[in-house]
Amino acid sequence: MELKKTKIKDSYEIITLKFGDKRGFFSRLYCKKILKKIKLKNIAQINTSFSKEVGTLRGMHYQKSPSQEDKIVFCTSGEIYDVVLDIRKNSRTYGKWYAKRLNPKKGNALLVPRGCAHGFLTLKKNTQIVYFVTNFYNPKKEGIIKYNDKKYNIKWPIPIKVISKKDNS
């Protein structure tokens, strides 16, 4: 497992190492020893999301204090365009966003630091993601930023075809 800094403060691309043979491969998705170096707290939940259609957008979500969370996002099937948006007012990268394509072939993941909004757009049919979070979900502390908010100007690589009412409000 390797950590590569992104342009967002405290955000990292996580590169998993695959060890393969004729049966397939083995890869470590979580290593407390390595993630401790970047002060990642213990995992509280592991969640999954499945989207049937290309162009499905989920986000931009975040948890308000005291329910803020760090999140590690993996794409286990299909492909996503994963976005981290820094909304921490005291951060040197406030208002900036970073995106990375995640898919199982690359074996990469993205660490979304607490205080940042997160969203993704599916680039392939039948896409599934798994994400590890450091706090329990609190619906009363959920915040949403509209995916096309002109203040942030996030560039999505393909048209958005499927979006929930909540995410579009």
Q: Per the domain annotation, does 168 fall within a domain?
A: no
Q: What percentage of residues in the chain have a pLDDT greater than 90?
A: 85
CATH number at residue 48: 2.60.120.10
- Please state the rounded mean pLDDT for residues 33-50: 91
Catalytically annotated residues: 61, 131
Q: How do residues 146-164 score in pLDDT, each as one tens digit?
A: 999 999 999 999 999 999 9
Range of the domain at 68: 2-163
**Residue 117: pLDDT over 90:** yes
Q: Which residue, 163, 82, 156, 148, is CA-closest to 116?
A: 82
- Cβ-Cβ contacts under 8 Å for 161 (sequence gap 6 or more): 53, 54, 55, 56
pTM above threshold 0.85: yes
Number of domains in the chain: 1
Q: Per the domain annotation, does 169 fall within a domain?
A: no
**Residue 25: pLDDT over 90:** no
* Selected residue with higher pLDDT from 161 and 30: 161
**Which residue's entry shows tokens 């690589």?**
157
Q: How do residues 64-101 score in pLDDT, each as one tens digit?
A: 999 999 999 999 999 999 999 999 999 999 999 999 99
Contact indicator for 79, 124 with CB cutoff of 8 Å: yes
* Furthest-apart CA atoms within the chain: distance in Å: 50
